Structure 1
Amino acid sequence: MSILRSPNGCPWDREQTHESLLPYLLEESYEFIDSVKSGDVDAMKEELGDLLLQIAFHAQLAEERGLFNFADVDQAISDKMVRRHPHVFGDASSADLDHRWEELKHSEREQKGLKSVLDDIPLALPAVSRAEKIQRRAAKVGFDWDEISPVFAKIEEEMDEIRRAIDGDGDIHEEVGDLLFACVNLARKLDVKAEMALDDTNRKFEARFRQMETTVLPKSLADYSLDELEALWVEAKNAQKG
């Protein structure tokens, strides 16, 4: 990276900043997720390399400003892992591991000057993932239902509020957001990662829809009625299960 950023290096690389590189960091992260989902080991190796490149790039930018370098990043994560695993690298017992973990996290938040348990949840997280993190943090201090039945009741309540908003009594945008938040909470209570579950459903829908498109070739799905499309959907669904 130092060569690419040098006066005789690549003009594009020399122009980049932490901010300009952020979209690429996200893109490479999502591409690695795709490679894992597809089970493509070669792609996993390639995408991890692309992610490592982004880390090296950001470290190089920081080094040029005299802030830190790649070795500092490596040392920082090594120190964190040792600090967070005293039962492995120290004399602490593995008993009551969850409690010790929370104590360590609390101590780290205090050192960073964070006052709320929600303070270090990244604002840039996808909304579904961020909702789950917010709910988990709230639950850790006891702000959570012990049983799942109130979660279902909350979802029903939010659906009723959407119906009233549609009739003119309320903000539809706000009520839909409340319903989505409640659905994420249901997933959390069922120990399901809502972001991953929704991603799997997206992929499932896409596969079935593409099958429908293939089935009607050389025609277009737009040439069919809704009843015909629903029949094609059932056919694609059954083929996928078979």
Structure 2
Amino acid sequence: MEHPRKVATALTIAGSDSGGGAGIQADLRTFSFHRVHGTSALTALTAQNTLGVTRVDVMPPESVAAQIDAVASDIGIGAAKTGMLVNRAIIATVAERVRTLGITPLVVDPVMVSRAGSRLIDDEAVAALREQLLPLAALVTPNRHEAQLLAGLELHSLQDMKEAARRIHRLGPKAVLVKGGAMPGSLCGTDVWFDGKRMEALHLTTVETRNTHGTGCTLSAAIAANLALGFEPLEATKRAKQYVTRALQHPLAVGQGNGPIGHFFPLLDS
């Protein structure tokens, strides 16, 4: 006799990575290794590998909305995260569906600027994300460059990171995690958490590897998975950081460029 297992669910609203290292592929893999059933709403199809992106095909906003509605109407959404939302129209559509459907908790990974500092969306999209989506977020997870853009502040020190967290918090999210992977020197790998009351610097072992593709996607997905499992936001974040650190310690020899982190380390014998 069948005994179906009831499980937590989480939704990723993001782009697809044909190389499998980031985007919805990394998100769904992360959900699975947290024993959370993953669902998805694709915002874009990218042709990419470990060497770079060669093509991006953007989904119509109506398609993104339909995917979210299909999941919400049947499976349910225990937690959600956003990744690459591409443009103002998609950001506005996602924000409207989040409000209408009451999707919570929501983790916003504001994919605006790459870790290397390359701008990924235009000013209109940044404004839409700032004004429409951030106020709906339980947590927003900007990297150094994204935090600088949102806070209007150059980040060079821990105090700068803390001030950026305060400024971004004023935009409306319940909590902010300023990621320090691109910070200089000893600050590399130190993240700053702020929820309006508690300010905390979070640091785990720094892992030396060039195979870091998908790190940001994986962190936000792991936070969403832990939120779906019922953990409070700060604890969910700490658990997610531990997962990412372990995955960085088991990078994959895939492709000729910057390879992906190893999500399936729990299955390895050593």
Report which structure shows greater RCO (CA 8 Å, sep ≥6).
Answer: 2
More strand by share: 2
TM over 0.5: no
Q: TM-score range by the shorter chain?
A: under 0.3
More helix by share: 1
TM-score by length of 1: 0.27
TM-score by length of 2: 0.25
